[in-house]
Chain A
């Protein structure tokens, strides 16, 4: 139960951060990505602030060695840059650039956004499901070790 509450509180804080920073608005995100247009650098400030605090948290977590509510830290150990990583990131970036939604803001916008938000989220979940079922062959041939999540 404490683990569930901790995850809930983190999710709540994450969503609030996306709202305060206005990253829930795809137009705001696209304005950042549009570096050749009327550029809005706000997203860089969001990322900068988030990376600094997450980095501090990582430092403390590593020094402690174990988390407060779980037996061990589950941090990805892989360091190799493989074709799957690059291809996946490239595809994600195209989708991100088309609408301006990445997974976090899309989910946070679900409860108050227009009809386009649930459509995008449904397609995103379908894409995740497709990854689980469709390209089994590709996955087996490229995957030598167990798939670990970076995020």
Chain B
């Protein structure tokens, strides 16, 4: 894990009291977050903890049941467009318009963000090179592999040079070379361009290597937050790696597990027994 940056400026993202309810099920239950500028901020948690829902609420893909999200001072509910102008999002699965070419896709993104055409042209040139997609710029996206699509989505999200990059599972579909590229890129973006990166991941090695701060979510709530050192202290795993810390902090008793299943799927003891 890299050295945490001093938090002197006001946070770029402020999330307070964020809740998301689906019927009787509470996916996210009162999350508070402050993402400082110029940091990689990791969100970790077991399956179904509420990470993706939180990320999607921060990018405006899902409406929260309650709570507020402000991005660079813009309230996501009231100043939606302004907040989104400075945000880029990379989902875990790269669904993009398959009948467009890579060049057309990036140009489309430039249009959505009202970028200057000259700037769009420069960025396309730069990003196609960075993500090694130059020779495929005229190919339809439908002919791309999963990893190529993921790289294109990265390029699209970075095209308007957002101040905040939200990434849900950045490593899905990328080969080892892609892993390396992305990890190096995260640090570069943060250190050279003062971008803030909010990423959720299962890949603890990535979190360990690139995140300045981490929060761990379980059952829709934050159960721990801080740097790796702080988390080690909190979990009592002072000499352990992030994996040990994570397992300790998210450990469930049998009773907690049953409660969790009942909370999510309704109280059907016969079906839970298995």
Query: Is chain B found bound to chain A in the same assembly?
Result: no
Which residues of A does B touch, CB under 8 Å? Answer: none
Which residues of B does A touch, CB under 8 Å? Answer: none
